[in-house]
Amino acid sequence: MKPISTSIHQIKELPNGSIIILENYYKFIGESNLYCIDKKSQQVIWFAELPMPDDIYSNKFSINNYEITIASWKGITVKIDSNTGKITDKILSK
């Protein structure tokens, strides 16, 4: 598996055959450094919505019941729907 911009920091395969990837945030170039790919085609299904336009995901994620929890560089902890990449909840955690 080849990263889009930097290096793979964390990877997790889901039971539905999709793979969640978190790339290293340092010097990442692209839409979002947290994204989902289809295991068979290796194509991006979605890029995770960012809590702010100029933010990036900096910490490892956890997954519970298809909901991803991760913190951003600017101190916002978000919950993301693993089927869509959309934020379902966010709180300032700094």
Number of H helices, E strands in the chain: 0, 8
SS3 content of the chain, % helix, strand, coil (to 5): 0, 45, 55
pLDDT tens digits for range 24-64: 999 999 999 999 999 999 999 999 999 999 999 999 999 99
pTM assigned to the model: 0.94
Confidence of residue 93 (pLDDT cuts 50, 70, 90): confident
Separation in Å, CA 15 to CA 12, 28, 48, 78, 81? 10, 28, 19, 22, 15
Q: What percent of the chain has pLDDT over 70?
A: 99
Confidence band for 1, pLDDT divided at 50, 70 and 90 = confident
